[in-house]
């Protein structure tokens, strides 16, 4: 904590992308909730992730109305993980709380996170105990992803825990020291560790607007998470190749023995074509898995920044 300020500063960090329908409701609900939490000061760090609607203008207006609102405008849409990274990097607080603009995570839970932090924890996770607001497909895929990821990865991600959580400045500095450009924030949060507690809550339906995560984006997001924290998909192909080689060797021994005993018969082409197509498909899948990892090595080797900031707005004055 800052020696000159007896009250800790809480930074609520929020990525925004085409959320003009939500912004009014967001500040109307979040600011009174934060003001009601005893013993803290707060700031709201809003990152505009290349929105194409009036999101930026409304955020700037909000910052001019309330000096505790800061706006970071990125040069284009870099994606939620990059925008969340930007928000965390810009946060000045002793406590940092990543939060979504859609208000599916109720703001009043922030106070419960702070209460749990006062008990001496470095990280307080917000765990969803009821996902009735999500579709059946989304609930099923989420459960499947968590189970599969935790089975194949050394870094275990808590189930039904999103980005919504509280962590201290020490944890924030540890996250900022992680250099990778292909970011899977849930995995990075889990990787740094620290003393962790859990607060359970019920997730609400989206207050307005529509989600920006399609099924295809969620699939790619899941691939990012698995390949970022596990090499098991690569190792599987070693075992699969060994199994196929042993099967082929066994088949060769069987055919040689049968030929010596019964003579040569006329083979069928259907079984041969099937075997060729099967092995070709297996090889292409293996090459695809290799490509996923090589692609990430390629992106990391470029050393490009995760995001670029166009302007910062605090109060009435923009800062480049």
List the CATH number of the domain containing 206: 3.90.550.10
Q: Say whether pLDDT at 320 is over 50.
A: no
Average pLDDT, whole number, for the chain? 77
pLDDT above 70 for 77: yes
Judgement on whether residues 211 and 280 belong to the same structural domain of the protein: no
Q: Do residues 70 and 94 both lie within one domain? A: yes
Domain check: are 45 and 170 in the same one? yes
Percent of the chain with pLDDT over 70: 69
Can you tell me the mean pLDDT for 187-210?
76
203 or 229: whose pLDDT is higher? 203
pLDDT tens-place string over residues 94-148:
999 999 888 888 888 898 899 889 988 898 988 887 756 555 656 666 666 666 6
191 and 157 within one domain:
yes
Identify whether the C-beta of residue 173 lies closer than 8 Å to the C-beta of residue 253.
no
pLDDT-wise least confident of 72-76, 246-250, 307-311: 246-250
Q: Is residue 221 part of a domain?
A: no
Choice among 43-52, 68-77, 95-104, 296-305 with the minimum mean pLDDT: 296-305
Q: Is residue 220 part of a domain?
A: no
Please state, in angstroms and rounded to a whole number, the distance separating the CA atoms of residues 88 and 172: 7
Distance CA 316, CA 92 (A): 19
Domain that holds residue 38: 9-215+306-319
Q: Is residue 315 part of a domain?
A: yes
Which of 238-259 are b and which e, b meaning 16 or more Cβ less than 10 Å from the residue's Cβ? Answer: eeeeeeeeeeeeeeeeeeeeee
Going 82 to 83 to 86 to 87, the CA torsion angle's sign is negative
Q: Is the pLDDT of residue 234 over 80?
A: no
Please state, for a pLDDT cut of 90, what percent of the chain lies above it. 11
Within a domain: 3: no
Q: Would you say 315 and 61 are in contact if contact means Cβ atoms under 8 Å apart?
A: no
């Amino acid at each position: 904590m800052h020696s000159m300020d007896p009250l800790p500063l809480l930074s609520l960090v929020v990525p925004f992308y085409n959320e003009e329908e939500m912004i009014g409701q967001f500040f109307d609900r979040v600011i009174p909730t934060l003001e009601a939490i005893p013993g803290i000061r707060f700031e709201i760090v809003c990152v505009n992730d290349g929105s194409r609607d009036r999101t930026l203008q409304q955020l700037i207006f909000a910052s001019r109305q309330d000096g505790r609102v800061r706006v970071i405008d990125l040069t284009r849409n870099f994606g939620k993980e990059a925008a969340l990274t930007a928000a965390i990097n810009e946060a000045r607080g002793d406590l940092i709380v990543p939060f979504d603009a859609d208000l599916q995570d109720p703001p009043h839970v922030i106070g419960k996170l702070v209460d749990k932090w006062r008990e001496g924890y470095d990280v307080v996770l917000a765990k969803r105990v009821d996902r009735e607001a999500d579709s059946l497909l989304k609930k099923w895929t989420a459960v499947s992803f968590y189970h599969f990821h935790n089975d194949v990865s050394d870094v275990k991600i808590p189930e039904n825990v999103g980005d919504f959580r509280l962590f201290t400045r020490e944890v924030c500095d540890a996250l900022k020291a992680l250099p990778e450009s292909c970011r899977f924030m849930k995995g990075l949060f889990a990787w740094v560790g620290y003393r962790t507690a859990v607060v359970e809550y019920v997730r609400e339906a989206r207050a307005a607007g529509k989600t920006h995560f399609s099924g295809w984006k969620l699939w790619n997001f899941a691939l990012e998470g698995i390949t970022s924290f596990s090499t098991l998909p690569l190792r599987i192909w070693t075992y699969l190749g060994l199994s196929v080689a042993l099967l082929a060797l066994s088949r060769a021994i069987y055919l040689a023995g049968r030929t010596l005993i019964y003579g040569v018969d006329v083979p069928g082409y259907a079984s041969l074509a099937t075997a060729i197509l099967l092995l070709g498909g297996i090889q292409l899948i293996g090459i695809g898995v290799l490509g996923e990892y090589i692609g990430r090595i390629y992106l990391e080797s470029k050393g490009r920044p995760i995001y670029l900031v166009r302007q910062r707005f605090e109060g009435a004055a923009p800062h480049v």
